[in-house]
C-alpha cells in the first residue's frame, strides 16, 4: 500500500475546512450560551407570576464569513509553517 504525499492544494483545502469548522463551532457555542441564558431569564419560579429577570432576545454575531474563514486558515498555515 503506497501513500501519496498531499500537494499544496490538498493542504490548503484541509486548512480551509479546519478553519471553517473551528469558527462555526465557536459561533454555535456562543449562540447556544446566549440563548440558554435568555431562556433562563424567562423562567417563572413556583409562587411567582412573572419572570424575575426578563432579558431581551440576545443579539447574535454574524455567522462566520468567507473572509473570516480564510483569515483563520492563514493563521493555521502560519502555525504549521513555523519551525
On the question of pLDDT at 1 being above 90, the answer is: no
Domain ranges of the chain: 16-81
* pTM score over 0.75: yes
Q: Which three cell numbers stand for residue 2?
A: 503506497
Q: CB-hemisphere CA count at 13 Å for 15?
A: 20
Q: What is the pLDDT of residues 14-28, one digit of tens each?
A: 999 999 999 999 999
Sign of CA dihedral 66, 74, 60, 24: positive
Confidence band for 47, pLDDT divided at 50, 70 and 90: confident
Q: Which three cell numbers stand for residue 58?
A: 440576545
Amino acid at each position: 500500500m503506497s501513500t501519496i504525499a498531499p500537494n499544496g492544494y490538498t493542504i490548503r483545502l484541509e486548512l480551509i475546512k479546519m478553519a471553517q469548522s473551528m469558527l462555526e463551532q465557536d459561533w454555535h457555542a456562543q449562540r447556544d450560551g446566549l440563548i440558554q441564558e435568555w431562556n433562563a431569564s424567562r423562567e417563572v419560579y413556583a409562587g411567582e407570576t412573572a419572570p424575575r429577570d426578563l432579558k431581551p432576545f440576545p443579539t447574535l454575531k454574524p455567522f462566520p464569513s468567507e473572509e473570516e474563514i480564510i483569515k483563520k486558515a492563514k493563521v493555521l498555515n502560519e502555525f504549521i509553517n513555523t519551525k
